[in-house]
Amino acid sequence: MPKTIGNPLSWTAQALGGAAGHVGRSVDRIGGHAGEVPGSVRINTLSTDDLKDALRRGYEDFAAARADVLMLVVLYPVIGLILLSAGLNMALLPLLFPVVAGFALLGPLAAVGLYEISRRREAGETPGWGAALALIGRPRFSALVVLGLFHAVIFGLWLLAAWAIWSVTLGGQPPASLGVFLGQVLGTGAGWAMIVVGIAVGFGFALAVLATSVVSFPMLLDRNVGVPRAVKTSVEVARANPRVIGTWGIIVAVSLLLGALPALIGLVIVLPVLGHATWHLYRKAVSYD
Task: Give the residue extent of every domain in the chain.
Answer: 8-31+46-288
CB 140 within 8 A of CB 224: yes
Residue 38 has pLDDT above 60, yes or no: no
What would the mean pLDDT of 114-142 be, rounded to a whole number? 75
pLDDT confidence band for 22 (50 / 70 / 90)? very low
- Which sign, positive or negative, has the C-alpha torsion 282, 284, 286, 289? positive
Residue 132 has pLDDT above 80, yes or no: no
CB 226 within 8 A of CB 139: no
- Which sign, positive or negative, has the C-alpha torsion 19, 267, 192, 177? negative
Greater confidence, 39 or 241?
Answer: 241
What would the mean pLDDT of 259-264 be, rounded to a whole number? 68
CA separation for the pair 171, 253 (Å, rounded): 30
Q: Dmax over Cα atoms in the chain, in whole Å?
A: 67
Q: Which stretch of 33-47, 187-201, 218-232 has the lowest confidence by average pLDDT?
A: 33-47
pLDDT confidence band for 66 (50 / 70 / 90)? low
Residue 235 to residues 38, 179, 195, 220, 240, Cα–Cα distance (Å): 19, 42, 28, 14, 9
pLDDT of residue 267: 73
pLDDT of residue 142: 85
- Which sign, positive or negative, has the C-alpha torsion 13, 16, 19, 20? negative
pLDDT confidence band for 19 (50 / 70 / 90)? very low
CA separation for the pair 80, 83 (Å, rounded): 5
Chain centre distance of CA 211:
11
CA-based end-to-end distance of the chain: 38
pLDDT of residue 229: 92
CA separation for the pair 93, 87 (Å, rounded): 5
Phi, psi of 288 (to 5 degrees): -125, 135
